[in-house]
Structure 1
Amino acid sequence: MRSRIIIFDDNQERLNSVAMLLNLSAGFTCNGTFPNANNLVADISSSKPDLVLMDIDMPGLNGIDATKLVRKHFDALPVLIQTNFEEDERIFGSLRAGANGYILKKTSPERFLESLREVLDGGAPITGSIAAKVLKHFSAESQAKKDYHLTEREKHILGFLVKGYSYKLIASACGITYNTVNNHIRNIYDKLYVNSATEAVSLAIKERLV
């Protein structure tokens, strides 16, 4: 049984060549080619595909917004994004929109067909260079400090807590009253979600907040 594929791409030559490749390849048939995604819901409803090949740059509705629309109306329908670009914003925009994979148009026909099979089998194909970008992105995210939205004054006071200063010594060092120090520290506790100076100091050291 052949899997039904439809293609959204504003490049007519690309539409024709991919459609021909699909129809000449075992296990696939091109069920429709569309130069834009402006009538996406109707086009998908009438062609009943097993997989959507989506160009990222099209007039009117772009591929990322079109993918979001697929997710809204055809939740389980796989979408494979095709593009000429490897820009981080496009990659992560596509993945956040719910794309099942992201491949470059320069991908070889063999790898292209393999990617289609992967998506249909529940996989999520991406090219090696894009995979490297994804790994780098998540590595950077994991290393990024969590923002607790401490003010500069609060960070300064937290720094004194880490050094073991008492409220009285902090007040003297900062030129403010004891009550003001107490108010700042209460705000610090609230922002760090802690209940004591020990917890605040421990978190400050762990997260390198000061």
Structure 2
Amino acid sequence: MDQPEKFKDIWVVEDNHELRHTLEEVIDSEPDLICSMSFRRCEDLITALQKESPPQIILMDIGLPGMSGIEGLHHIRSLSPATQVIMLTIYEDDDKVFESLCAGAIGYLVKGQTTLKIVESIRVVLDGGAPMNARIARKVLTMFSRFVSPQADYALTRREQEILELLVQGYSQKQMAAQLNLSPLTVATHMKNIYAKLHVHSRTEAVVKALRERLI
């Protein structure tokens, strides 16, 4: 289903009917957001991605019946690389965090947060940021510290190193520009150079590599 350009399309994948319906209503209540499609199963999402115009963001439960959210992430990355995925789950264990980030999730939020907080997280992603629950962020940093490998020399400049550190903290390009007193275009150029030097294709891959290889 094609949507007017002014709307940002957000799909929802959640097997709990009440929560799914609530998320639809909250998204649709925003003047510039729309939830054009929602699904109970990941398999139905994959089918829709093969037929419909992809959304900007997918909000997806990790513990779905049938295909799991983490498995679904791999299919989403293949079918629609530009679509960002925010995981919504009751799980808080390190393995689930690690798997979802490595599979390409841009953010990870624990169920129990307010629906308005979830909308705020959607807006962070639309602005180029990476939302993550504070408890999960601490777990991620602790977890990656266990996977220490020899630090490679990627020849990052001092400015690129600063931007990579802000990237890991979830800053958007606009926030980085304000923090470093740079133009958004300059920040975008630095990020492009960082991706090339690290041999990655997205901010999520850059964050995972930075944490896993202790680049910050």
* TM-score bucket of the superposed structures, by smaller chain: 0.5 to 0.7
Tell whether the 8 Å contact from 2:14 to 2:61 is kept in structure 1 after alignment: yes
Counterpart selection for 2:26 from 21, 26, 47 = 21
Deviations 1:4-34 (A, max 9, x none): 1111111111110100111112321111110
Structure 2 matches for 1:24-35, cutoff 5 A?
A: 24-35=29-40
Deviations 1:110-156 (A, max 9, x none): 321111011122221110000000111122333x89xxxxxxxxxxx
**Number of the residue aligned with 1:160:** none
**2:15, 2:107 → 1: CA distance?**
20
**2:41, 2:11 → 1: CA distance?**
12
**1:57, 1:47 → 2: CA distance?**
25
Compare the two structures and name the one with the higher helix fraction: 1
| Identity in percent | 34
Counterpart selection for 1:115 from 115, 118, 121 = 121
Counterpart selection for 1:133 from 135, 139, 142 = 139
1:63 is the counterpart of 2:90: no
TM-score (structure 2 length as normaliser): 0.63
Greater Cα radius of gyration, structure 1 or 2 = 1
TM-score (structure 1 length as normaliser): 0.64
Tell whether the 8 Å contact from 1:31 to 1:47 is kept in structure 2 after alignment: no
Mind listing any 5+ residue stretches in structure 2 that lack a counterpart? Answer: 1-5, 151-216
1:48 is the counterpart of 2:54: yes
Mind listing any 5+ residue stretches in structure 1 that lack a counterpart? Answer: 146-210
Q: What one-letter code is carried by the residue in structure 1 that aligns with 2:47? A: A
**1:49, 1:124 → 2: CA distance?**
17
Structure 1: 4+ residue segments shifted above 4 A: none
Shift of 1:38: 1.1
Q: What one-letter code is carried by the residue in structure 2 that aligns with 1:77? A: T
Shift of 1:47: 5.2
Shift of 1:40: 2.6
Tell whether the 8 Å contact from 1:32 to 1:47 is kept in structure 2 after alignment: no
**1:33, 1:75 → 2: CA distance?**
19
Which segment is superposed worse, 5-14 or 34-43?
Answer: 34-43
Q: Name the Cα RMSD after superposition.
A: 1.9
